Amino acid sequence: MIKDGGERIATCSGAVLRHPGGLEAVAETWFAPAFWAERGELRDVIAGRGAAWFIGAAGRWVLRHYRRGGWVAHLSTDTYVWHGEKRVRAFAEWRLLAVLFARGLPVPRPVGARYRRSGLVYRCDLIVQRIEGAQPLSALLEAAPLSETLWRAVGAAIARLHAAGADHADLNAHNILIAPERPRGDAAMVSVIDFDRGRLRPPGAWSRGNLARLRRSLEKVSRRMPADRFSAPAWKCLLDGYALHL
């Protein structure tokens, strides 16, 4: 069944969502790490609190299993209360990414999503295209200072998303990826990932909230780094790039 731009495939305990007529024949087995491990095509991703793996030949996709954060994680690590299929978190993120990617915005291409329901709770997973050569902004800061050009490119990428109404619920230094092998200064080298709980909204104060959250994250991750890794001038460069592309 085609719904909201995606092809829904019913399973014994839930459903899979994928692109209609897409090149990838996404099946429920794709969401099981053991399936890829048996093929020798599974590698852990070291980032964030969730469980994530590079999967497929040469690690061409990223599989993420949704996990709870905060105090709720003490009650359940990966189950969510069932409120209907429209509110399944992996499906909502897949559909948001599909819209943003189709508009040419700096996000990964969504490949597939899956949920499994058990009574009043469910678990879910998402597969997206891997952004080749990309590293989290937080990791790059550990290695060396960023150039002014790169800080402006980060700001420009965020501005493009905000101009499209994309509210990121957890914009931080780990969710901004940079592919340094592309020409420096190319805004397309910067991508934003992990749009769980993200949504499209009219212009508003939420965009300032995104930026404030990012600044707090940058201050936190750079606290034990040399002073040149993140500073007031670096933040100004980011805001300059943001203002030029909003």
Residue 53 class from Cβ within 10 Å (0-12 exposed, 13-18 middle, 19+ buried)?
Answer: buried
Here the tokens at position 55 are 């999967």
**Fold of the 135-245 domain:** Transferase(Phosphotransferase); domain 1 (1.10.510)
Model pLDDT for residues 128-168, shown as the tens digit of each residue: 999 988 999 999 999 999 999 999 999 999 999 999 999 99
Instruction: Tell whether the model's pLDDT for residue 74 goes beyond 80.
Output: no
Q: C-alpha angle with apex 100: 2 to 168, nearest 5 degrees?
A: 115
Question: Using CA atoms, how far apart are residues 9 and 73, in angstroms rounded to an integer?
Answer: 30
Helix-strand-coil split of the chain, %, nearest 5: 40, 25, 40
Indicate if 170 belongs to the active site. Answer: yes
Average pLDDT over residues 54-79: 82
**Cα 219 from Cα 92, distance rounded (Å):** 30
Torsion-angle region of residue 179: left (phi > 0), alpha (psi -120 to 50) or beta? beta
- Average pLDDT on 59-69 reads 91
For residues 173-186, average pLDDT: 73
Over range 15-27, report the average pLDDT: 86
Catalytic residue, chosen from 44, 167, 170, 194, is: 170
Which 8-state DSSP code applies to residue 42?
A: E
pLDDT of residue 188: 45
As a whole number, the mean pLDDT across the chain is 90
Confidence of residue 11 (pLDDT cuts 50, 70, 90): very high
Q: Mean pLDDT across the stretch 71-91?
A: 84
pLDDT value of residue 1: 59
Residue 75 is classified by DSSP as T
